[in-house]
């Protein structure tokens, strides 16, 4: 395990106090959520295929599809998309 020092606001420090011994878990969850959000944005902008967005977010294709629907992003499914996803 590596030790890292970061500077955070007093407000955030106060919010993190109850999780003192679980900061690894809190940070991991935050990083996972940020990666998912980034993948959703890139997918919506057309920069990533559905499969590549799932890989970037490190989630299953099923979870990525679920996240798309939770964020009201409706993927267009056409023959080209199917071929890209299978490649």
pLDDT of residue 83: 74
Give domain status of residue 6, yes or no.
Answer: no
pLDDT of residue 11: 94
pLDDT tens by residue, 39-74? 999 999 989 988 899 999 999 988 999 999 999 988
Give domain status of residue 14, yes or no.
Answer: no
Give domain status of residue 7, yes or no.
Answer: no
The phi and psi torsions of 75 (rounded to 5 degrees) equal: -70, 140
Supply the range of the domain harboring residue 43. 22-86
Give the list of residues 6+ apart from residue 60 with CB closer than 8 angstroms, or none.
54
Give domain status of residue 82, yes or no.
Answer: yes
Pull the structure tokens for residue 38.
């980034």
Mean pLDDT of 28-49: 93
Q: Give the chain's domain count.
A: 1
Give domain status of residue 58, yes or no.
Answer: yes
């Amino acid at each position: 395990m590596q030790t890292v020092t970061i500077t955070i606001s007093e407000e955030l420090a106060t919010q993190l106090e109850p999780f003192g011994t679980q900061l690894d878990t809190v940070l991991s969850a935050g990083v996972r959520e940020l990666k998912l959000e980034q993948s959703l944005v890139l997918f919506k902008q057309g920069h990533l295929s559905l499969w590549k967005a799932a890989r970037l977010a490190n989630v299953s294709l099923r979870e990525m599809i679920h996240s798309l629907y939770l964020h009201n992003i409706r993927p267009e499914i056409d023959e080209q998309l199917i071929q890209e996803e299978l490649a």
